Amino acid sequence: MIHRAGSGHPGGALSLVEILAELYARRMRFDPEHPDWPDRDRLILSKGHGVPALYAALAWYGYFPKEELLTLRRTDGRLEGHPDRCRVPGIEASTGSLGQGLSIGIGHALSGRLDQRTYRTFVILGDGEIQEGQVWEAALFASAHRLDNLTAFIDCNGFQLDDAVEKILSIEPVAEKWESFGWAVREIDGHSLGEIEEAIRWADGVRGKPSVIVARTVKGKGVSFMEGNNDFHGRAPTDEEFEHAMKELGAHPEREAFL
Amino acid sequence: MRDIFLEEVYRIMKREDIFFLSDDFGSPVLDQLRRDFPERFVNVGIAEQNLINLAAGLALEGWTVYAYGIAAFLSMRAYEQVRVNLAMLSQWRDINVNLVAVGAGVSYDVSGPSHHCLEDLGLMRMLPNMTVFSPSDGILCEEIADYTAKASGPKYIRLDGKALPNLYKGIGAEELKCGFSEIRRGEKLCIVATGYMTHRALAACESLKSEIIDVGVIDVFLLKPFDEGKLFETLERYDGIVTLEEGFVNKGGLDGLISSLLEKNGSRKSLAALGFKDAYTFDVGNREYLHRLNQLDEESILRTIKSMLD
Nearest-angstrom CA–CA distance, B161 and B246:
13
What is the least distance, in Å, from the CA of B56 to any CA of chain A?
A: 6
| Chain A touched by B88 (CB under 8 Å) | yes
In sequence order, which ranges of chain A are alpha helices (DSSP H)? 2-5, 10-14, 17-22, 51-60, 101-114, 133-144, 165-168, 174-180, 193-205, 239-248
Residue B167 belongs to some domain of the structure? no
Residue B20 belongs to some domain of the structure? yes
Length of chain A equals 259
The distance of Cα B105 from the centroid of its chain, to the nearest Å, equals 9
What is the least distance, in Å, from the CA of B150 to any CA of chain A?
A: 20
Last residue within a domain, chosen from B95, B125, B159: B159
| Chain B touched by A114 (CB under 8 Å) | yes
Instruction: Please check whether residue A109 is in contact with residue A121, taking contact to mean a CB–CB distance below 8 angstroms.
Output: yes
What is the least distance, in Å, from the CA of B84 to any CA of chain A?
A: 8
Give mean pLDDT, residues B88-107.
Answer: 97
Among B15, B94, B95, which Cα is nearest to B54's? B95
What percent of chain B is predicted at pLDDT more than 70?
100
pLDDT at A254: 60
For the domain that residue B296 is a member of, what is the CATH number? 3.40.50.920
Residue B28 belongs to some domain of the structure? yes
Q: By CA distance, what is B44's nearest residue in A?
A: A141
Q: Check whether A259 has a pLDDT greater than 60.
A: no
What is the least distance, in Å, from the CA of A137 to any CA of chain B?
A: 6
Per-domain residue ranges for chain A?
2-248
Residue B285 belongs to some domain of the structure? yes
For the domain that residue B116 is a member of, what is the CATH number? 3.40.50.970
Scan residues 58-87 of A and list those with Cβ closer than 8 Å to B. Answer: 85-87
Q: Check whether A257 has a pLDDT greater than 90.
A: no
Contact A107 B61 (CB under 8 A): yes
Give mean pLDDT, residues B109-122.
Answer: 97
Instruction: Please check whether residue B39 is in contact with residue B69, taking contact to mean a CB–CB distance below 8 angstroms.
Output: no
What is the total count of domains within chain B?
2
Q: Check whether B134 has a pLDDT greater than 80.
A: yes
| Chain B touched by A10 (CB under 8 Å) | no
| Chain B touched by A140 (CB under 8 Å) | yes
- Are B152 and B210 in a shared domain? no
CATH 3.40.50.970 fits A2-248, yes or no: yes
Residues of B in contact with A100 (CB under 8 A): 49, 53, 81, 84-85
pLDDT at B27: 86
| Chain A touched by B261 (CB under 8 Å) | no
| Chain A touched by B38 (CB under 8 Å) | no
Residues of A in contact with B62 (CB under 8 A): 111
- Are B153 and B196 in a shared domain? no
The pLDDT mean for chain A works out to 95
What is the least distance, in Å, from the CA of A150 to any CA of chain B?
A: 13
Which secondary structure element, helix H or strand E, spans residue B218, and what is its range?
strand B215-220
Give mean pLDDT, residues B273-301.
Answer: 97
- Are B15 and B134 in a shared domain? yes
Model pLDDT for residues A127-176, shown as the tens digit of each residue: 999 999 999 999 999 999 999 999 999 999 999 999 999 999 999 999 99
ipTM over 0.85: yes
pLDDT at B171: 96
Residues of A in contact with B58 (CB under 8 A): 107-108, 110-111
Residue B85: give the domain boundaries.
2-159
Instruction: Please check whether residue A1 is in contact with residue A50, taking contact to mean a CB–CB distance below 8 angstroms.
Output: no
Model pLDDT for residues B61-73, shown as the tens digit of each residue: 999 999 999 999 9
| Chain B touched by A43 (CB under 8 Å) | no
SS3 A47: coil
pLDDT at A255: 56
Give mean pLDDT, residues A30-36.
Answer: 97
Nearest-angstrom CA–CA distance, B117 and B120:
6
